Structure 1
Amino acid sequence: LYLAPEARFDHLLTLPEAADVGARVNAAMRAIEQHNAQLAGVLPKSYNLFTATLLKELLKKVSEIPASVDFDAFGRIYEYFLGEFARTEGQKGGEFYTPASIVKLLAQVIEPFHGRILDPACGSGGMFVQSARFVAEHQRNPAAELAICGVEKTDETGRLCRLNLAVHGLEGDIRHGGNVNSYYDDPHNATGQFDFVLANPPFNVNAVDKERLKEMVGPGRRFPFGLPRTDNANYLWIQLFYSALNRQGRAGFVMANSASDARASEQDLRQQLIEARAVDVMVAVGPNMFYTVTLPCTLWFLDRGKAGTPRADTVLFIDARHIYRQVDRAHRDWTPAQIGFLANLVRLYRGEAPDSTFGGEEAEAKLTEIFGTTHAYADVPGLCKAATLAEIEAQGWSLNPGRYVGVAAGEAISDEDFREQFEALNEELETLNAQARELEAIIARNVAEILEA
């Protein structure tokens, strides 16, 4: 970033007591935007609302930060305040912030070392920041390795994202505000263009105007498998993520549990996705991992490059619902060791060596405890199962990890597992009843036609 003389601390700190400090700080913000295009329209300019005494004290405190402090520290400070803001904002906070431990696991599994990365529901940009941190932890320069592209419907949140990138020393092409909407708009011409997609889209959105999407349906388009008949956008998002990937691209995203077992037209869309050999890993996540909802969710990982590998006809299911750290009464997260363990479990399944960069000795010890010193992948009841396409077909093309992983020997089925299984069976019963009613109507019409003849 370039800072004009009037925007530097040494200038602002020497302003006389009689000066309008708020106006001068606002002018400094405008000067920064003028000389740094990536920050245009991003910085706040309401410092005139604060007293001169408060602003002078704040400037003095910030100026006392040693010059030797790593630049990334400022990014971590910004992340901290974003997280605290999201926590206090409740439901609104969840619209722009995904808890860091969730995002870290997504990045660890898709391994965005180099290439173009897209988040079409980018919020405040946490997916980009954690991807950059993954690159930095492997001794590379994120700014040189990643080309960042994002879409954010809310203008204010898009500005938060651009500022988040800036304080982390990153730049990106973030389209936000106006009338941009990822369902209808494709400002990055994304189809087949990205190496990585990371996202936490809004769940179970209704009232999407499917008439506007009909020209985007078909092979090589944004919705290659078709549109769901149900008024639910989950499988619109899933197809947007899939279609944005190039032939070797990987995606990691958060999704409502219901999408893993959804019936009717959504089941058909899911079957096509599975048969395309794109679904790589599914991770069940327990409740209370998010600030805004207590419900569990599922992490989906797609890999369009796996079709030519030995795991082409399998999907790895991981039940991580019982892996967590209790932060407080209402919130959970994953420790670095837990994230490292789960990511390395995926690497074993892929036939890759474990990566000790994240999680350290504790993650390594857990991996050895379960898989032995050879670190060879094996199914573990209650934890993981590599299911074949035939097994998945037998389960009605379900991608619910609980259907495959089972429970460890000696463990009773939990209330949560029972509830999920009961809900899945009830949904299947409702679908069968609906199909039966359709068949009854067809039979009745046929009988009536015969009698009339």
Structure 2
Amino acid sequence: MADIKKLEKELWEAADNLRANSKLTSQQYCMPVLGLIFLRYAWGRFKTVDAQIKESRAHATGRQVPIEAADYTKRGAMFLPEEARYDYLLNLPENETNIGKRVNDAMTALERQNPQLAGVLPRTYTDLGSDLLRETLRIFNNPALDEDGDDIIGRIYEYFLGKFAPAVASDDGVFFTPKSLVRMIMNVIEPSHGTMLDPACGSGGMFVSASDYIREHGGNPIESMTFYGQEKVEYNAKLCLMNMAVHGMNGKIKSGDEANTFYSDAHSLDGSCDFVAANPPFNVDKVKSEDAIAAGRMPLGVSGINKKGEFSNGNYLWINYFYSYLNKTGRAGFVMASSATDSSGKDRGLRETLVKTGHVDTMLYVGNNFFYTKSLPCTLWFFDKGKPEELRDKVLFIDVQNYHTVIDTTHNEWSPWQLKNLSAIVWLYRGQTEKYSELLDEYCAEIRDASEAIDDEDAKKALASVTSLGDFPAAHEALASFIEKRKEQVKKTVDAAKPRERKLLRESLAEEISQLEERLTVIDEVLWLTEKFGAGTYADVPGLCKIATQEEIEEKNWSLTPGAHVGVPPQEDDGVDFHERMGEIHVELKQLQAESNELMDTISRNFEEFGL
């Protein structure tokens, strides 16, 4: 995986150099810089897919047909004409005096190849100067941009926008949705066909993730799904189109005043969508109630109109829209401020109406520090108008504020295995036990593969023989024991090395230990899952999940806050007597204080002896 923060820093330094050595304003150099990153990322995806196509052709038999642009889009990449390939620009002759024109020509060629990009890509590169542009092209040739699977462009775009156009960024709110949240939404709504709408589409991360999900499950999103987006901020809409194009996708994106979702159903999709996915701006105020009501899409009713004739909080407008856009079997998944699950006043009546439809599927509380630029908690809401009859009276509540991977002090995310585990809870609630069994098989295969990296016979045997539920604890114990032994061996090896060799050796061996610990984490995750649900039987888990009936939700005053339903987990007894331990700590503190006083006296005497 790319070190995204390191990548951002490196790319920003290049962009800042461009700003400092040009006469452009922030607004003027924003899109040219992002256009170069787009071009580099597009080339990385093109190279990968080009190699795949040529490899498959090498093994094919029979008559070879020419490679076409459609062959690239089927695999999630954009075909690049030769003059638009990053290496072509990077390797222009040293005596080339007008690199800006060559980059402009590359953008023109891309728009000609991809009509959905018409008028989107920047063509102001002749303003930058050849020397500066050549250096920027070189710095942006970062191999991390060859990586697949994340909305890297959206993430970098938000970082850049916050750096050199803070007024635009703050006006838009949080438009980049972390990959963990986006992927969790896809795992629950399971996009496969038809129409998908994101009425607050930002940089298009929902569409990219939906496309990835469909491909991973054997489909072709180009053939099976149509993507529609609305985005008020034109900067973001352009980025969305660029983002989709680089992933081999087409989308119908509208921006500007006509795309303000509060006042417009820009694509006339009310009641027509198979899937809705979004991360709308939270707690928006000053929405004109008369215009919003006239625009319709409020089947749950309205609430929160103040004396000025404005909605003082737009959260339930969004909730109305997401529900209204769905067709008779449609599914929606969206991010929402956690306050919306239990807000009072007329909102409570709207929630009651919503719950009584039987279409609230799952409510998942996330907790703090998942967003890239903000630390606020949020909740993922899921609607399903096609719920089976036996689930119409029920809602699955999940609270995972304490289940995540800490990336740093301000950033949490779900690992791929944690995402699978959370999805497994939903599968069991829906009765999809075969998916749960397939996940256990996947865990078994992953653990067996890990045995190849171990040279301890006992540990290797314990991991290589994992085939069922009962093998996980023994595999965990064997691998944990091996890691501790390996750490001791590493320490001895480093200590015995020559001083000048120790740093390099320590780094090399630390990487080995890190990889082993990652493999141990996989077993930790399957133990987390199976300790709660065994071979695949759903059960309410205090503090984690509960299936609540409408009657139980009514008893909670129509609250949809997961914590109000799942309760708190039972406190584990660590076997330590609190009062006894506090007494011991008090004695230890007194002893440390005495030692500290004695040390200070010694230091003072030493200073006196030196005449200080």
TM-score of the two chains, using structure 2 as the length reference:
0.61
CA distance, structure 1, for counterparts of residue 246 and residue 439 of structure 2 = 24
Identify the residue that residue 239 of structure 1 maps to in structure 2.
Answer: 320
Q: CA 1:162–1:359 in 2, change beyond 3 Å: closer, same or farther? A: farther
Could you tell me the percent identity over the aligned residues? 44
CA distance, structure 2, for counterparts of residue 116 and residue 386 of structure 1 = 30
Q: CA deviation at 1:18?
A: 4.3
Per mean C-alpha deviation after superposition, the further-off stretch among 48-57 and 30-39 is 48-57
Identify the residue that residue 279 of structure 1 maps to in structure 2.
Answer: 360
- Higher relative contact order structure (alpha carbons within 8 Å, sequence separation ≥ 6): 1
CA RMSD of aligned residues (A): 2.9
Q: Assess if the C-alpha contact under 8 Å between 1:119 and 1:127 holds in 2.
A: yes
Identify the residue that residue 388 of structure 1 maps to in structure 2.
Answer: 549
Letter in 2 for 1:22: G
Q: Given the alignment of the two structures, is residue 368 of structure 1 paired with residue 530 of structure 2, yes or no?
A: yes
Identify the residue that residue 441 of structure 1 maps to in structure 2.
Answer: none
Deviations 1:54-98 (A, max 9, x none): 544565788998xxx998749765355346547868864853201
The equivalences for 1:258-407 within 5 A come to 258-306=339-387, 308-353=388-433, 354=435, 360-361=442-443, 362=522, 364-373=526-535, 375-407=536-568
Deviations 1:368-387 (A, max 9, x none): 221111x1111111110101
Q: Given the alignment of the two structures, is residue 129 of structure 1 paired with residue 208 of structure 2, yes or no?
A: yes
Q: Given the alignment of the two structures, is residue 46 of structure 1 paired with residue 124 of structure 2, yes or no?
A: yes
Q: CA 1:208–1:265 in 2, change beyond 3 Å: closer, same or farther? A: same
Letter in 1 for 2:542: P
Identify the residue that residue 20 of structure 1 maps to in structure 2.
Answer: 98
CA distance, structure 2, for counterparts of residue 88 and residue 162 of structure 1 = 22
The equivalences for 1:145-184 within 5 A come to 145-184=224-263
Gaps of 5+ in 1: 413-453
CA distance, structure 1, for counterparts of residue 183 and residue 149 of structure 2 = 19
The equivalences for 1:93-132 within 5 A come to 95-132=174-211
CA distance, structure 1, for counterparts of residue 293 and residue 183 of structure 2 = 36
Identify the residue that residue 68 of structure 2 maps to in structure 1.
Answer: none
Q: CA 1:85–1:60 in 2, change beyond 3 Å: closer, same or farther? A: closer
CA distance, structure 2, for counterparts of residue 95 and residue 47 of structure 1 = 29
Q: Assess if the C-alpha contact under 8 Å between 2:173 and 2:281 holds in 1.
A: no
Q: CA deviation at 1:138?
A: 1.4
Letter in 2 for 1:329: T
CA distance, structure 2, for counterparts of residue 170 and residue 330 of structure 1 = 33
CA distance, structure 2, for counterparts of residue 164 and residue 212 of structure 1 = 32
Gaps of 5+ in 2: 1-77, 306-311, 444-521, 574-612
Letter in 2 for 1:114: H
CA distance, structure 1, for counterparts of residue 271 and residue 441 of structure 2 = 33
CA distance, structure 2, for counterparts of residue 261 and residue 80 of structure 1 = 31
Identify the residue that residue 422 of structure 1 maps to in structure 2.
Answer: none
Q: Given the alignment of the two structures, is residue 209 of structure 1 paired with residue 371 of structure 2, yes or no?
A: no
Q: CA 1:216–1:57 in 2, change beyond 3 Å: closer, same or farther? A: closer
Letter in 2 for 1:160: L
TM-score of the two chains, using structure 1 as the length reference:
0.81
CA distance, structure 2, for counterparts of residue 303 and residue 289 of structure 1 = 25
Q: Assess if the C-alpha contact under 8 Å between 1:318 and 1:385 holds in 2.
A: yes
Q: CA 1:31–1:405 in 2, change beyond 3 Å: closer, same or farther? A: same
CA distance, structure 1, for counterparts of residue 225 and residue 202 of structure 2 = 18
Letter in 1 for 2:354: L
CA distance, structure 1, for counterparts of residue 420 and residue 161 of structure 2 = 25
The equivalences for 1:429-444 within 5 A come to none
CA distance, structure 2, for counterparts of residue 61 and residue 358 of structure 1 = 44
Q: Assess if the C-alpha contact under 8 Å between 1:195 and 1:245 holds in 2.
A: yes
Identify the residue that residue 416 of structure 1 maps to in structure 2.
Answer: none
Q: CA deviation at 1:309?
A: 2.3
Per mean C-alpha deviation after superposition, the further-off stretch among 69-78 and 163-172 is 69-78
Letter in 1 for 2:279: N
